[in-house]
Amino acid sequence: MLRRRGYDDEDMPERGRKRRRVSESQEVEDRLESLIIRVGEKSTSSLESNLEGLVSVLEADLGAFRARILRILSDCAIRMPEKCTIYTTLVGLLNAKNYNFGGELVDYIVKTFKSSLKICRWDAARYSLRFLADLVNCHVISATSLLALLDNMVDVSNEDTVPQVRRDWYVFAVLSTLPWVGRDLYEKKETALESLLVKIEVFLNKRTKKHHNSLRVWSVDAPHPQEEYLDCLWAQIRKLRQDNWAEKHIPRPYLAFDSILCEALQHNLPVIHPPLHQESNTYPMPWVVYRMFDYTDCPDGPILPGAHSIERFLIEEHLHHIIETYHVERKDCAAHLLNFPYKSKIPLEYCIVEVIFAELFHMPTPRYLEICYGSILIELCKLQPATMPQVLAQATEILFMRIDSMNTSCFDRFVNWFSYHLSNFQFRWSWDDWDSCLLLEPEHPRPKFIQEVLHKCLRLSYHQMIKEMMPETYSRLIPVAPEPSYKYSAEGAVEKDC
């Protein structure tokens, strides 16, 4: 029997050598992608040393894998916006060593930004804009060219015969970018920045807000005003401006490399004009900013940022993004929410509960199925049993006390969530605390809420369980026991011949 002789690399057939080269190339690309994606995660080394090491690796591989590195960095800017400043620092260090690559990356991000605007990928466009803005802090892009871009975006607010949601989004995109780059623009281009803010203020003062009342969760503003989202963000930006554009939430790793970055040559953004409106374009709808807690509701510990502090906006945006990213898997979503990077600086449980109820009560419809939010809250209670159930109980109490003025759709969602939550915790609740509602008319929202909850619980359990879990004082609110109805054996039924 003949044996097939082995080949050395030198006499290996061409097809085999090619397959090996492809395999090795793919392995290197995968390794580079893993290194870039994981930078900034928990490590025994400091972030600064990890960035320096990664810059050395990427610089060595730019010749062979330039296109792949450009694509990975661009994808990270969009898919992981919470790590924006880490990636801009990485790009700044690469630009300081390789000016041409820095220019190529800026062109790549600009192309992504323009493409996202054209195909209505609004979140991708906003994160691309944020990334470009933060590159100003890293001395990669000039402040003058960024201001020109922001100015062109705000000019959309003066367009006629276009939907207001289009003008709203462009102004929102600019305002939501300013926390990252406002300080640098203030120091270098104060006059131009003030001119931009004046244009935004003029637009906000003249825009209509007919949608506001239909998107409110409650019909009254006490104890927390229900602000339209652009009005709220504008108030937060004005407060940031009063504080000289100093915020306490955004990590800025590039400050550690300032001596290196400030020596780098900067690039100018090309002139970018927003694409014209098309009839087929769809834009994000407006919303009302949901508020449930303030600092007086939180016990001793980190203070909840004020409603008009920019930190409140940044925290809520980050938490909403976590829910958007992981909502399909409740366990992962709950774990990532509780591992929020700045949890030691804020009352995290209160922030999480407020954001989840903001999603659940979002008008006219929540982003995801109602059960999605209920299942995430259950996982949060399991992972954090010492604090989360108490915060959730406090939130439920607040909602119940304000239910008189709650929107009808939100009332129904509250009923669905509460009954589902009770069914997962043995239907235990301190019903005696709500005894006062029994003195009200049966159709009053409070007793009506309890009655509706018990009807829902009946579907998730059985009548005897409902009867046993409720105090006797609630007997009139307990649903009637479901009994079978025998149509043909009832008295007076008409018998028919077969």
List, for residues 264-276, the tens digit of each pLDDT value: 999 999 999 999 9
The pair of three-digit structure tokens given for residue 26, joined into one six-digit string: 């793919």
State the Cα–Cα distance between residues 426 and 424, nearest whole angstrom: 6
Q: Is the pLDDT of residue 22 over 60?
A: no
In a domain, 33, yes or no: no
- CA nearest neighbour of 91 among 250, 254, 262: 254
* Chain centroid, CA 135 distance in Å: 22
Instruction: For residue 10, count CB atoms less than 10 angstroms from its CB and return exposed for 0-12, middle for 13-18, buried for 19 or more.
Output: exposed
Place of tokens 């003066």: 158
Q: Give dist(CA 406, CA 412) in Å, integer.
A: 10
Give the pLDDT confidence score for residue 430 in this predicted structure. 93
Whether 2 has a pLDDT exceeding 60, the answer reads no
Question: Can you give the pLDDT at residue 301?
Answer: 83
Is residue 253's pLDDT more than 90? yes
pLDDT at 493: 66
Whether the predicted pLDDT of 495 surpasses 70: no
What's the whole-number mean pLDDT along residues 187-210? 95
Residues 159-184, mean pLDDT to the nearest whole number? 96
Q: Tokens 């995430």 map to which residue? A: 376
- Amino acid 19: pLDDT: 52
Give pLDDT, residue 147: 97
pLDDT (0 to 100) of residue 21:
52
Q: Is residue 204 part of a domain?
A: yes
What's the confidence (pLDDT) of residue 298? 87
State the average pLDDT over residues 298-311.
90
**Is the pLDDT assigned to residue 255 strictly greater than 80?**
yes
At residue 41, does pLDDT exceed 90?
no
pLDDT at 52: 93
pLDDT of residue 489: 77
User: What confidence score (pLDDT) does residue 25 get?
Assistant: 75
Burial classification of residue 192, based on how many CB atoms lie within 10 Å of its CB (0-12 exposed, 13-18 middle, 19 or more buried)? middle
Structure tokens given for 10: 């030198």
Cis, bond preceding 223 (omega within 30 deg of 0): yes
- Number of domains observed in the structure of the chain: 1
Q: What are all long-range contacts of 182-187, with beta carbons under 8 Å and residues at least 24 apart?
A: 182/237, 182/240, 182/241, 182/245, 183/244, 183/245, 183/246, 184/136, 184/137, 184/143, 185/136, 185/143, 185/146, 185/147, 186/241, 186/244, 186/245
Q: How confident is the model at residue 14 (pLDDT cuts 50, 70, 90)?
A: low
Mean pLDDT of the chain: 91
89 close to 257: Cβ distance less than 8 angstroms: yes
Q: What is the pTM of this model?
A: 0.90
* 163 part of a folded domain: yes
Decide if 371 is inside a domain. no
What are the phi and psi torsion angles at 141 (to 5°)?
Answer: -120, 145
Q: Is residue 225 part of a domain?
A: yes
Residue 64 lies inside a defined structural domain of this protein = yes
Per-residue pLDDT at 191 exceeds 60: yes
Give just the sign of the alpha carbon dihedral 308, 310, 315, 317.
positive
Q: Taking 90 as the threshold, does the pLDDT of residue 362 lie above it?
A: yes
The mean per-residue pLDDT over the stretch 64-68 comes to 89
Whether 482 shows a pLDDT value over 90: the answer reads: no
Residue 12 scores a pLDDT above 90: no
Identify the CATH number of the domain in which residue 203 sits: 1.25.40.180
The answer to whether position 232 is within a domain reads: yes
Tell me whether residue 391 is in a domain: no
pLDDT per position as a tens digit, 123-137: 999 999 999 999 999
Domain residue limits at 253: 47-276+284-289
Of 86, 94, 78, give the one whose Cα is nearest residue 41.
86
Is residue 492 scored above 80 in pLDDT?
A: no
Whole-number pLDDT of residue 241: 96
Phi, psi angles (nearest 5°) of residue 288: -105, 135
